[in-house]
């Protein structure tokens, strides 16, 4: 059930990624009545960085759901920093949302500072850790059943 829900959520997020607006600079360049901006907008992100944002959010959602499912089935939270939070759903979702928000904010800041490779590398690392946690949760949940 959880895997089906997670797969559906992931597909919805992946399908939504390409729906970004056109680059403002390309639109402004084609309009002769536009005045050039003093502070040009940061370069367009393409699909990689927004895709990493979506996958980070999806992995955090799966981690939260699988943690709650595992705890209901008798599993124990392995992360000592999350032990007191994992049993309280509001606190758990606040932490998951905060981690996602801070990660995206930090990557955006790096991108605006023209440190694009670092922004992408950071989000790949965040997704890698979240994927490892999600895989471990799936393994524990399967074993507890």
Q: Is 9 exposed, middle or buried (0-12, 13-18, 19+ CB in 10 A)?
A: middle
Reported as a single tens digit per residue, the pLDDT across 120-132 is 999 999 999 999 9
* Rounded distance between C-alpha atoms, residue 103 and residue 124, angstroms: 11
Q: What is the pTM of this model?
A: 0.69
Instruction: Looking at mean pLDDT, say which of 10-14, 19-23, 80-84, 141-145 comes out highest.
Output: 80-84
């Amino acid at each position: 059930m959880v895997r089906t829900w997670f797969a559906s959520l992931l597909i919805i997020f992946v399908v939504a990624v390409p729906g970004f607006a056109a680059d403002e600079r390309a639109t402004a360049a084609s309009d002769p009545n536009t005045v050039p901006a003093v502070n040009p907008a940061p370069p367009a992100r393409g699909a990689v960085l927004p895709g990493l944002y979506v996958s980070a959010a999806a992995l955090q959602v799966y981690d939260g759901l699988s943690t709650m499912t595992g705890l209901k089935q008798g599993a124990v939270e392995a992360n000592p920093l999350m032990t007191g939070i994992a049993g309280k759903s509001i606190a758990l979702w606040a932490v998951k949302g905060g981690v996602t928000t801070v990660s995206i904010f930090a990557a955006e800041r790096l991108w605006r500072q023209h440190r694009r490779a670092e922004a992408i590398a950071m989000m790949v690392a965040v997704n890698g850790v979240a994927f490892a946690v999600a895989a471990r949760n799936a393994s524990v949940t399967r074993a507890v059943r």
